[in-house]
A and B are shown apart, each in its own frame.
Chain A
Amino acid sequence: GQNIDQPTEMTATEGAIVQINCTYQTSGFNGLFWYQQHAGEAPTFLSYNVLDGLEEKGRFSSFLSRSKGYSYLLLKELQMKDSASYLCAVMGDSWGKFQFGAGTQVVVTP
């Protein structure tokens, strides 16, 4: 079967770093995506990994290890506006068929 796991909630202080892990078991692999979703809003794309390694985009970085079925999203210099749900999504062997994890609610405290 297909499974994507990520922690339910994480809390961190403004200015700190938080790492959100995602493990997956899917039929085939055509990329892993991270999205941010604020309450009541649509998800917005953050990053994409298809090859092993680290992708850096400003304060956000994402890492992928295909052999381990593992990814993480690193949020640096946390700001209050980073409080949101972070969704890990994998495209398996069917093009266009994204499977989303349940999301990790990140709470940033002053």
Chain B
Amino acid sequence: DTEVTQTPKHLVMGMTNKKSLKCEQHMGHRAMYWYKQKAKKPPELMFVYSYEKLSINESVPSRFSPECPNSSLLNLHLHALQPEDSALYLCASSLGPAGVGGELFFGEGSRLTVL
């Protein structure tokens, strides 16, 4: 299994809603990432979890709250978002600091629209 699975694929939410994005991988990877990507722009790093601990937070607003319940799962909890948060949210995983290489395996993404 070389897949990173993200759900939902599409999400529309109002500015007062609370929703969550979910990500799962079963490749034994120990690092998981959230990226945000706007149209025709490169992915922007949001959070990195290494061995289930948050290791990087790129000064992301608190309305985005990551959670890593175990080594296979990564969630992104969304609350009180703004229309400018509308984007493709990509989850990725990699072997982790002890692994050679470190290339990212990306999920298909969750396309979020905030009304």
Contact = CB atoms under 8 A, between A and B. Distances in A.
Interface of A: 30-31, 33, 35, 41-45, 48, 87, 89, 91, 94-103
Interface stretch (B12-20, B37-45, B68-76, B77-85): B37-45
A33 B106 CA distance: 14
A50 to B, nearest CB: 8
Contacts of B109: 42
Contact of B103 (A33, A87, A99): A33
Contacts of A43: 43, 90, 104, 106
Contacts of B64: none
Interface of B: 31, 33, 41-45, 48, 50, 55-56, 90, 94, 97, 101-109
B108 A41 contact: yes
A42 B107 contact: yes
A52 B50 CA distance: 28
A-B interface, 7 closest residue pairs, ranked by CB to CB distance from nearest: A100-B42, A42-B106, A45-B103, A96-B48, A95-B97, A43-B106, A42-B108
Nearest to B90: A42
B50 A96 contact: yes
Given A42-B90, A94-B56, A96-B55, A102 B105 contact: no
A41 B56 CA distance: 25
Which of B31, B42, B105, B106 has the most chain A CB atoms closer than 10 A to its own CB?
Answer: B42
B102 A91 contact: yes
Contact of B42 (A42, A94, A95, A103): A103
Given A42-B90, A87-B42, A100-B43, A33 B56 contact: no
B45 A97 contact: yes
Contacts of A31: 101-102
A36 to B, nearest CB: 11
A89 B94 CA distance: 14
A107 to B, nearest CB: 14
B56 A101 contact: no
A31 B44 CA distance: 18
A3 B108 CA distance: 27
B99 to A, nearest CB: 11
